[in-house]
Amino acid sequence: MKPFRMFAALVALAVSPLEAGERIAVHVSPRIAFAPATVVVRTTVEKNEDNRAMEVVVDGGEYYRSSLVQLDGDSAPRTTTMELRDVPGGMYLVQATLVGRDGRPHNTVHEEVQILSR
């Protein structure tokens, strides 16, 4: 494979496509790991003038983390990455919510993560 084609293929794989009608997607890696784990949360947002913020929440009972990312409408980056270090064992719900210009949540997506205790 020529270098340019290989590069184009890697770029295509790196960007998570949104399903039809979705404005936000979340991908968590790894989905299963041993504690203490490093978990990467990657969100992909459709470019839209109405996008004003995105809230990412990781909730596992005894461990909770949230982050509010301001978005500048259709000028905002399409992909945002958040790295969580030393996540203890447990089941976690990772939720990403897109907030519109009106301050209300527009779309919410989620994934589950399992961190196994040794």
> Per-domain residue ranges for the chain?
3-116
Q: Average pLDDT in the 51-76 region?
A: 95
Q: What is the mean pLDDT of the chain?
A: 86
Q: Which residues 6+ apart lie within 8 Å of 30 measured at CB?
A: 37, 39, 113
Token digits for 88? Answer: 């203890």
Q: Does position 110 have pLDDT exceeding 70, yes or no?
A: yes
Q: Residue 42 in contact with residue 70, Cβ under 8 Å?
A: no
Query: Which pTM value belongs to this model?
Result: 0.79
Instruction: Identify the band that residue 19 occupies on the pLDDT scale cut at 50, 70 and 90.
Output: low
Average pLDDT over residues 8-22: 47
Q: Is there a contact between 116 and 35 (Cβ–Cβ < 8 Å)?
A: yes
- 1 Cβ neighbours under 8 A, 6+ residues apart: 9
Identify the pLDDT of residue 27. Answer: 98
For residue 17, give the nearest of 97, 83, 79 by alpha carbon: 79
pLDDT for position 3 = 43
Amino acid occupying residue 105 = P
Fold of 3-116: Immunoglobulin-like (2.60.40)
19: which residues sit within 8 A by CB, 6+ positions away?
25
pLDDT in tens, 31-52: 999 999 999 999 999 999 999 9
Q: Do 69 and 41 meet the contact criterion of CB atoms below 8 Å apart?
A: no
- Do residues 42 and 79 lie in contact, with contact meaning Cβ atoms separated by under 8 Å? yes
User: Element (H or E) spanning 110, and its range?
Assistant: strand 105-116
